Structure 1
Amino acid sequence: MQRTSFSTFKCPAARALESVGDWWSILILRDALQGLTRFDEFQKNLGVAPNILTRRLRHLTDEGLFERRLYSERPPRYEYVLTDKGRDFFPVLMALFTWGNRHMPPEEISMRLADAATGEDRDPLLIDRVTGRAFHPEDTILAPGPAADEAVHERIAQMKAWFLGFDA
Protein backbone atom coordinates (compact mmCIF):
# COMPACT_ATOMS: atom_id res chain seq x y z
CA MET A 1 0.00 0.00 0.00
CA GLN A 2 1.36 3.44 -1.00
CA ARG A 3 1.77 5.90 1.85
CA THR A 4 0.07 9.27 1.47
CA SER A 5 2.46 12.21 1.34
CA PHE A 6 1.55 15.26 3.43
CA SER A 7 4.36 17.39 1.97
CA THR A 8 1.97 19.68 0.07
CA PHE A 9 -0.63 20.02 2.84
CA LYS A 10 -1.15 23.50 4.28
CA CYS A 11 -1.54 22.19 7.84
CA PRO A 12 1.67 22.38 9.92
CA ALA A 13 0.69 19.23 11.85
CA ALA A 14 0.42 17.26 8.59
CA ARG A 15 3.73 18.69 7.35
CA ALA A 16 5.38 17.75 10.65
CA LEU A 17 4.08 14.19 10.30
CA GLU A 18 5.71 14.07 6.86
CA SER A 19 9.06 14.97 8.48
CA VAL A 20 8.79 12.52 11.34
CA GLY A 21 7.38 9.66 9.32
CA ASP A 22 5.88 6.88 11.40
CA TRP A 23 5.98 5.23 14.83
CA TRP A 24 9.43 3.72 14.26
CA SER A 25 10.79 7.17 13.54
CA ILE A 26 9.24 8.54 16.72
CA LEU A 27 10.83 5.73 18.74
CA ILE A 28 14.20 6.34 17.06
CA LEU A 29 13.93 10.02 18.03
CA ARG A 30 12.98 8.98 21.58
CA ASP A 31 16.15 6.90 21.83
CA ALA A 32 18.30 9.62 20.25
CA LEU A 33 16.97 12.15 22.78
CA GLN A 34 18.20 9.73 25.46
CA GLY A 35 21.69 9.67 23.95
CA LEU A 36 21.76 6.82 21.43
CA THR A 37 23.55 7.65 18.16
CA ARG A 38 24.64 4.41 16.50
CA PHE A 39 22.78 2.00 14.24
CA ASP A 40 23.51 -1.03 16.43
CA GLU A 41 22.32 0.83 19.56
CA PHE A 42 19.01 1.73 17.91
CA GLN A 43 18.57 -1.79 16.56
CA LYS A 44 19.31 -3.45 19.90
CA ASN A 45 17.05 -1.11 21.85
CA LEU A 46 14.13 -1.23 19.40
CA GLY A 47 14.38 -4.77 18.03
CA VAL A 48 13.58 -3.36 14.59
CA ALA A 49 14.63 -5.09 11.37
CA PRO A 50 17.82 -3.61 9.87
CA ASN A 51 16.16 -2.71 6.55
CA ILE A 52 13.40 -0.78 8.33
CA LEU A 53 15.90 1.00 10.59
CA THR A 54 18.05 1.91 7.59
CA ARG A 55 15.05 3.44 5.78
CA ARG A 56 13.89 5.37 8.85
CA LEU A 57 17.35 6.75 9.62
CA ARG A 58 17.77 7.80 5.99
CA HIS A 59 14.36 9.51 6.04
CA LEU A 60 15.09 11.33 9.32
CA THR A 61 18.47 12.43 7.95
CA ASP A 62 16.94 13.58 4.65
CA GLU A 63 14.32 15.54 6.61
CA GLY A 64 17.03 17.28 8.63
CA LEU A 65 16.38 15.71 12.04
CA PHE A 66 19.71 13.86 12.08
CA GLU A 67 23.18 14.57 10.77
CA ARG A 68 25.13 11.48 9.72
CA ARG A 69 28.77 11.53 10.93
CA LEU A 70 31.56 9.08 10.21
CA TYR A 71 33.02 7.70 13.45
CA SER A 72 35.06 4.78 12.03
CA GLU A 73 36.84 4.56 8.70
CA ARG A 74 37.65 0.83 8.73
CA PRO A 75 35.03 -0.36 8.37
CA PRO A 76 33.09 2.82 7.61
CA ARG A 77 30.59 3.39 10.41
CA TYR A 78 28.31 6.34 10.98
CA GLU A 79 26.52 7.79 13.95
CA TYR A 80 23.30 9.76 13.79
CA VAL A 81 23.47 13.04 15.70
CA LEU A 82 20.37 15.09 16.35
CA THR A 83 20.20 18.47 14.65
CA ASP A 84 18.39 21.46 16.14
CA LYS A 85 15.28 20.30 14.26
CA GLY A 86 15.64 16.85 15.82
CA ARG A 87 16.15 18.25 19.34
CA ASP A 88 13.07 20.44 18.81
CA PHE A 89 11.01 17.21 18.72
CA PHE A 90 11.61 16.83 22.48
CA PRO A 91 8.44 18.62 23.69
CA VAL A 92 6.33 16.64 21.20
CA LEU A 93 7.74 13.40 22.58
CA MET A 94 7.23 14.52 26.18
CA ALA A 95 3.61 15.40 25.42
CA LEU A 96 3.08 11.99 23.79
CA PHE A 97 4.77 10.22 26.72
CA THR A 98 2.67 12.14 29.26
CA TRP A 99 -0.54 11.48 27.36
CA GLY A 100 0.32 7.77 27.15
CA ASN A 101 0.95 7.44 30.89
CA ARG A 102 -2.10 9.53 31.81
CA HIS A 103 -4.37 7.09 29.95
CA MET A 104 -2.73 3.88 31.09
CA PRO A 105 -3.76 1.93 34.18
CA PRO A 106 -1.32 2.89 36.98
CA GLU A 107 -0.20 -0.70 37.45
CA GLU A 108 0.90 -0.84 33.79
CA ILE A 109 3.15 2.25 33.87
CA SER A 110 6.69 0.97 33.35
CA MET A 111 8.43 4.32 32.74
CA ARG A 112 7.87 7.78 34.12
CA LEU A 113 9.31 11.19 33.41
CA ALA A 114 11.65 12.36 36.17
CA ASP A 115 13.96 15.26 36.90
CA ALA A 116 17.53 14.20 36.04
CA ALA A 117 18.99 15.86 39.15
CA THR A 118 16.41 14.89 41.78
CA GLY A 119 14.53 11.88 40.40
CA GLU A 120 11.25 13.66 41.20
CA ASP A 121 8.34 13.08 38.84
CA ARG A 122 7.88 15.58 36.01
CA ASP A 123 4.50 16.52 34.56
CA PRO A 124 4.91 18.52 31.33
CA LEU A 125 2.47 21.27 30.49
CA LEU A 126 2.22 23.18 27.22
CA ILE A 127 2.32 26.90 27.98
CA ASP A 128 2.34 30.05 25.91
CA ARG A 129 5.85 31.51 25.86
CA VAL A 130 4.51 35.09 25.91
CA THR A 131 1.72 34.92 28.50
CA GLY A 132 2.79 31.90 30.54
CA ARG A 133 -0.78 30.54 30.30
CA ALA A 134 -1.46 26.86 29.69
CA PHE A 135 -2.97 25.76 26.37
CA HIS A 136 -6.41 24.14 26.43
CA PRO A 137 -8.68 23.15 23.52
CA GLU A 138 -11.38 25.45 24.89
CA ASP A 139 -9.28 28.60 24.48
CA THR A 140 -7.11 27.80 21.45
CA ILE A 141 -8.12 28.20 17.80
CA LEU A 142 -6.32 28.05 14.48
CA ALA A 143 -5.77 31.38 12.74
CA PRO A 144 -4.58 32.06 9.19
CA GLY A 145 -0.84 32.49 8.71
CA PRO A 146 0.99 34.59 6.14
CA ALA A 147 0.87 31.83 3.50
CA ALA A 148 -2.85 31.10 3.98
CA ASP A 149 -4.77 30.94 0.72
CA GLU A 150 -8.52 31.33 0.25
CA ALA A 151 -9.16 27.64 1.01
CA VAL A 152 -7.29 27.89 4.32
CA HIS A 153 -9.20 31.05 5.28
CA GLU A 154 -12.48 29.30 4.45
CA ARG A 155 -11.58 26.14 6.40
CA ILE A 156 -10.52 28.17 9.45
CA ALA A 157 -13.72 30.23 9.28
CA GLN A 158 -15.78 27.01 9.22
CA MET A 159 -13.83 25.59 12.16
CA LYS A 160 -14.23 28.85 14.10
CA ALA A 161 -18.00 28.81 13.45
CA TRP A 162 -18.15 25.23 14.70
CA PHE A 163 -16.04 26.15 17.74
CA LEU A 164 -18.23 29.13 18.64
CA GLY A 165 -21.38 27.05 18.13
CA PHE A 166 -19.94 24.28 20.31
CA ASP A 167 -18.94 26.79 22.99
CA ALA A 168 -22.45 28.29 23.23
Structure 2
Amino acid sequence: MQRTSFSTFKCPAARALESVGDWWSILILRDALQGLSRFDEFQKSLGVAPNILTRRLKHLTDEGLFERRLYHERPPRYEYVLTDKGRDFFPVLMALFTWGNRHLPPEEIAVRLADANTGEDRDPLLIDRVTGRPFQPEDTILVPGPAADDAVHERIDQMKAWFLGFDA
Protein backbone atom coordinates (compact mmCIF):
# COMPACT_ATOMS: atom_id res chain seq x y z
CA MET A 1 0.00 0.00 0.00
CA GLN A 2 1.41 3.39 -1.04
CA ARG A 3 1.26 5.98 1.70
CA THR A 4 0.18 9.54 1.11
CA SER A 5 2.94 12.14 0.96
CA PHE A 6 2.37 15.26 3.04
CA SER A 7 5.34 17.13 1.52
CA THR A 8 3.14 19.57 -0.40
CA PHE A 9 0.65 20.21 2.41
CA LYS A 10 0.56 23.73 3.82
CA CYS A 11 0.02 22.47 7.39
CA PRO A 12 3.28 22.41 9.40
CA ALA A 13 2.07 19.40 11.40
CA ALA A 14 1.51 17.39 8.20
CA ARG A 15 4.90 18.43 6.82
CA ALA A 16 6.58 17.50 10.11
CA LEU A 17 4.97 14.06 9.87
CA GLU A 18 6.48 13.74 6.40
CA SER A 19 9.94 14.35 7.91
CA VAL A 20 9.52 12.00 10.83
CA GLY A 21 7.81 9.26 8.85
CA ASP A 22 6.17 6.65 11.06
CA TRP A 23 6.18 5.14 14.54
CA TRP A 24 9.49 3.33 13.95
CA SER A 25 11.11 6.66 13.14
CA ILE A 26 9.78 8.20 16.35
CA LEU A 27 11.16 5.28 18.36
CA ILE A 28 14.52 5.53 16.55
CA LEU A 29 14.63 9.23 17.45
CA ARG A 30 13.70 8.36 21.05
CA ASP A 31 16.65 5.98 21.25
CA ALA A 32 19.02 8.44 19.56
CA LEU A 33 18.03 11.14 22.04
CA GLN A 34 19.06 8.67 24.77
CA GLY A 35 22.49 8.17 23.19
CA LEU A 36 22.16 5.30 20.71
CA SER A 37 23.78 5.90 17.33
CA ARG A 38 24.64 2.59 15.69
CA PHE A 39 22.51 0.27 13.57
CA ASP A 40 23.02 -2.73 15.85
CA GLU A 41 22.12 -0.64 18.93
CA PHE A 42 18.85 0.50 17.35
CA GLN A 43 18.04 -3.01 16.18
CA LYS A 44 18.71 -4.53 19.61
CA SER A 45 16.67 -1.85 21.38
CA LEU A 46 13.68 -1.95 19.03
CA GLY A 47 13.64 -5.51 17.73
CA VAL A 48 12.80 -4.08 14.31
CA ALA A 49 13.54 -5.99 11.09
CA PRO A 50 16.83 -4.89 9.49
CA ASN A 51 15.19 -3.88 6.20
CA ILE A 52 12.71 -1.60 8.01
CA LEU A 53 15.46 -0.09 10.16
CA THR A 54 17.61 0.53 7.08
CA ARG A 55 14.74 2.34 5.31
CA ARG A 56 13.82 4.42 8.36
CA LEU A 57 17.44 5.48 9.01
CA LYS A 58 17.85 6.41 5.34
CA HIS A 59 14.63 8.43 5.45
CA LEU A 60 15.62 10.23 8.66
CA THR A 61 19.06 10.97 7.17
CA ASP A 62 17.55 12.21 3.88
CA GLU A 63 15.18 14.44 5.89
CA GLY A 64 18.10 15.96 7.79
CA LEU A 65 17.40 14.53 11.25
CA PHE A 66 20.56 12.38 11.23
CA GLU A 67 24.00 12.71 9.77
CA ARG A 68 25.58 9.42 8.74
CA ARG A 69 29.25 9.12 9.83
CA LEU A 70 31.75 6.38 9.08
CA TYR A 71 33.20 4.96 12.31
CA HIS A 72 34.83 1.77 10.94
CA GLU A 73 36.39 1.35 7.50
CA ARG A 74 36.68 -2.42 6.99
CA PRO A 75 33.93 -3.39 6.78
CA PRO A 76 32.35 0.04 6.48
CA ARG A 77 30.19 0.82 9.50
CA TYR A 78 28.26 4.00 10.09
CA GLU A 79 26.76 5.72 13.06
CA TYR A 80 23.76 8.01 12.93
CA VAL A 81 24.36 11.31 14.70
CA LEU A 82 21.48 13.64 15.46
CA THR A 83 21.54 16.97 13.68
CA ASP A 84 20.08 20.16 15.16
CA LYS A 85 16.82 19.26 13.39
CA GLY A 86 16.88 15.82 15.02
CA ARG A 87 17.63 17.24 18.48
CA ASP A 88 14.76 19.70 18.00
CA PHE A 89 12.43 16.67 18.04
CA PHE A 90 13.07 16.27 21.79
CA PRO A 91 10.13 18.42 23.01
CA VAL A 92 7.78 16.58 20.63
CA LEU A 93 8.92 13.26 22.06
CA MET A 94 8.53 14.53 25.63
CA ALA A 95 4.99 15.69 24.82
CA LEU A 96 4.14 12.23 23.41
CA PHE A 97 5.72 10.53 26.40
CA THR A 98 3.84 12.71 28.88
CA TRP A 99 0.54 12.27 27.04
CA GLY A 100 1.06 8.50 26.93
CA ASN A 101 1.76 8.20 30.66
CA ARG A 102 -1.09 10.56 31.57
CA HIS A 103 -3.56 8.18 29.91
CA LEU A 104 -2.27 4.96 31.46
CA PRO A 105 -3.45 3.56 34.77
CA PRO A 106 -0.71 4.35 37.33
CA GLU A 107 0.09 0.67 37.82
CA GLU A 108 0.89 0.35 34.08
CA ILE A 109 3.49 3.15 33.94
CA ALA A 110 6.79 1.38 33.29
CA VAL A 111 9.00 4.43 32.61
CA ARG A 112 8.86 7.96 34.00
CA LEU A 113 10.61 11.19 33.07
CA ALA A 114 13.06 12.40 35.70
CA ASP A 115 15.65 15.11 36.23
CA ALA A 116 19.10 13.75 35.30
CA ASN A 117 20.73 15.35 38.36
CA THR A 118 18.16 14.82 41.09
CA GLY A 119 16.07 11.88 39.89
CA GLU A 120 12.94 13.91 40.68
CA ASP A 121 9.95 13.35 38.39
CA ARG A 122 9.55 15.80 35.51
CA ASP A 123 6.23 16.90 34.02
CA PRO A 124 6.75 18.78 30.73
CA LEU A 125 4.46 21.63 29.79
CA LEU A 126 4.37 23.48 26.47
CA ILE A 127 4.64 27.19 27.17
CA ASP A 128 4.83 30.31 25.06
CA ARG A 129 8.42 31.57 24.95
CA VAL A 130 7.31 35.23 24.97
CA THR A 131 4.56 35.26 27.62
CA GLY A 132 5.47 32.17 29.65
CA ARG A 133 1.81 31.07 29.49
CA PRO A 134 0.96 27.42 28.86
CA PHE A 135 -0.66 26.52 25.56
CA GLN A 136 -4.31 25.51 25.91
CA PRO A 137 -6.78 24.66 23.12
CA GLU A 138 -9.19 27.27 24.50
CA ASP A 139 -6.83 30.19 23.94
CA THR A 140 -4.81 29.11 20.90
CA ILE A 141 -5.88 29.63 17.28
CA LEU A 142 -4.35 29.16 13.86
CA VAL A 143 -3.70 32.26 11.78
CA PRO A 144 -2.39 32.53 8.23
CA GLY A 145 1.38 32.68 7.79
CA PRO A 146 3.41 34.41 5.07
CA ALA A 147 3.05 31.46 2.65
CA ALA A 148 -0.71 31.10 3.16
CA ASP A 149 -2.67 30.90 -0.07
CA ASP A 150 -6.40 31.43 -0.58
CA ALA A 151 -7.15 27.82 0.40
CA VAL A 152 -5.34 28.22 3.73
CA HIS A 153 -7.17 31.47 4.44
CA GLU A 154 -10.49 29.80 3.61
CA ARG A 155 -9.75 26.77 5.80
CA ILE A 156 -8.77 28.97 8.77
CA ASP A 157 -11.90 31.09 8.30
CA GLN A 158 -14.04 27.92 8.26
CA MET A 159 -12.36 26.65 11.42
CA LYS A 160 -12.94 29.97 13.18
CA ALA A 161 -16.61 29.95 12.14
CA TRP A 162 -17.00 26.37 13.39
CA PHE A 163 -15.26 27.18 16.68
CA LEU A 164 -17.32 30.32 17.25
CA GLY A 165 -20.52 28.41 16.47
CA PHE A 166 -19.47 25.60 18.79
CA ASP A 167 -18.45 28.02 21.54
CA ALA A 168 -21.75 29.91 21.48
Name the TM-score class by shorter chain. Answer: over 0.9
**Structure 1 CA distance, aligned partners of 2:137 and 2:165?**
14
**Structure 2 CA distance, aligned partners of 1:31 and 1:101?**
18
**Structure 2 CA distance, aligned partners of 1:66 and 1:28?**
11
- SS of aligned partner of 1:60: helix
Instruction: Please tell me whether residue 123 in structure 1 is matched to residue 135 in structure 2.
Output: no
Task: Give, in angstroms, the shift of residue 59 of structure 1.
Answer: 0.1
Superposed CA deviations along residues 89-143 of structure 1, whole A, max 9, x for unmatched, are 0000000000000000110000000000000000000000000000000000100
Q: TM-score, normalised by structure 1?
A: 0.99
- SS of aligned partner of 2:67: strand
Q: TM-score, normalised by structure 2?
A: 0.99
**Structure 2 CA distance, aligned partners of 1:106 and 1:35?**
27
Superposed CA deviations along residues 71-90 of structure 1, whole A, max 9, x for unmatched, are 00111100000000000000
Superposed CA deviations along residues 26-80 of structure 1, whole A, max 9, x for unmatched, are 0000000000000000000000000000000000000000000000011110000
- SS of aligned partner of 2:119: coil
Where does structure 2 lack aligned partners over 5 or more consecutive residues? none
- SS of aligned partner of 1:129: coil
Match of 2:84 in 1: 84
**Structure 2 CA distance, aligned partners of 1:33 and 1:60?**
14
4+ residue runs of structure 1 moved beyond 2 angstroms? Answer: none
**Structure 1 CA distance, aligned partners of 2:5 and 2:104?**
31
Task: Give, in angstroms, the shift of residue 152 of structure 1.
Answer: 0.3
**Structure 2 CA distance, aligned partners of 1:40 and 1:94?**
25
Task: Give, in angstroms, the shift of residue 161 of structure 1.
Answer: 1.1
Report the aligned-residue RMSD: 0.5
Task: Give, in angstroms, the shift of residue 162 of structure 1.
Answer: 1.2
Task: Give, in angstroms, the shift of residue 167 of structure 1.
Answer: 2.0
Match of 1:154 in 2: 154
**Structure 1 CA distance, aligned partners of 2:162 and 2:123?**
31
